[in-house]
């Protein structure tokens, strides 16, 4: 669906885009008003999947696919916040993903660092919607600079209380089972 919107917007130019945006947001508000009447879930989790398939389909490099995936995520999170959902969890990066080509892993790490840093900016969705950010996973698998960025954003958003965004990075069930057993033994 996003691709259709994109290609329409390419054709209508900037002024058309503004019109299209406000039309979409008007429709969205109407739909959300209707949806919010019924009880809605408190917690939604998203699994980021298909970025590479998307890139292949549109003849893009893999890292571009991940970037588009991130944009789609931010869009959907914004909708969740507008709907009043309090908890969102994103499965972003599993330990198994580290087995991919080194260039792709590095590109993913760079993207993560850039986007996590971006969350701390004044105009980011984190500040717009009062989001507290958590990271779940074995963070020692991340590159140092990414780990530092995660720690900074956790501290920077610690006092936000409207919504909670948990980002799962460097997770995998086997690693979690081992960690859990070790901790239980301790």
DSSP H or E run through 167: strand 163-171
Q: Considering only residues 81, 135, 141, 171, which one is a binding residue for ligand NAG as defined by CB under 6 A?
A: 141
Annotation marks residue 49 as catalytic? yes
Q: Which of 118, 156, 164, 166 binds ligand NAG (CB under 6 A)?
A: 156
List residues bridging with 172 in a β-sheet: none
- Of 95, 109, 136, 154, the one binding ligand NAG (CB under 6 A) is 109
| Nearest approach, Cβ of residue 146 and ligand NAG (Å) | 8
Residue 154 touches ligand NAG, criterion: CB under 6 A: no
Beta bridge partners of 166: 89, 134
- Considering only 20-28, 39-47, 50-58, 98-106, which stretch makes contact with ligand NAG by CB under 6 A? 98-106
The whole-angstrom separation of Cα 19 and Cα 39 is 32
Nearer to ligand NAG, 98 or 111 (CB): 98
Cβ-contact 123, 79 below 8 angstroms: no
Residue with tokens 């998307």: 54
Decide if 58 contacts 135 (C-beta within 8 A): no
Q: Is the dihedral of CA 126, 127, 129, 134 positive or negative?
A: positive
CB of 42 or CB of 159, closer to ligand NAG: 159
Regarding beta strands 163-171 and 131-136, do their DSSP bridges make them parallel or antiparallel, or are they unpaired?
parallel
- For ligand NAG, the closer CB: 29 or 106: 106
Question: Toward ligand NAG, which CB reaches closer, 30 or 158?
Answer: 158
Catalytic residue ranges: 49
């Amino acid at each position: 669906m996003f691709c259709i919107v994109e290609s329409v917007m390419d054709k209508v130019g900037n002024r058309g885009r503004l019109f299209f945006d406000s039309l979409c947001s008007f429709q969205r508000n109407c739909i959300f008003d209707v949806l919010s009447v019924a009880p809605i879930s408190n917690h939604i989790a998203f699994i980021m999947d298909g970025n590479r398939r998307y890139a292949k389909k549109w003849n893009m490099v893999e890292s571009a696919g991940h970037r588009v995936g991130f944009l789609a995520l931010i869009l959907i999170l914004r909708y969740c916040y507008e709907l009043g959902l309090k908890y969102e969890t994103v499965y972003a990066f599993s330990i198994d993903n580290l087995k991919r080509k080194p260039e792709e892993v590095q590109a993913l790490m760079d993207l993560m660092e850039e986007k996590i840093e971006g969350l701390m900016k004044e105009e980011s969705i984190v500040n717009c919607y009062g989001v507290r950010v958590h990271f779940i996973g074995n963070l020692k698998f991340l590159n140092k600079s990414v780990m530092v960025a995660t720690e900074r954003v956790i501290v920077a958003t610690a006092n936000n209380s409207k919504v909670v965004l948990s980002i799962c990075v460097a997770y995998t069930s086997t690693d979690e089972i081992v960690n859990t057993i070790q901790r239980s033994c301790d």
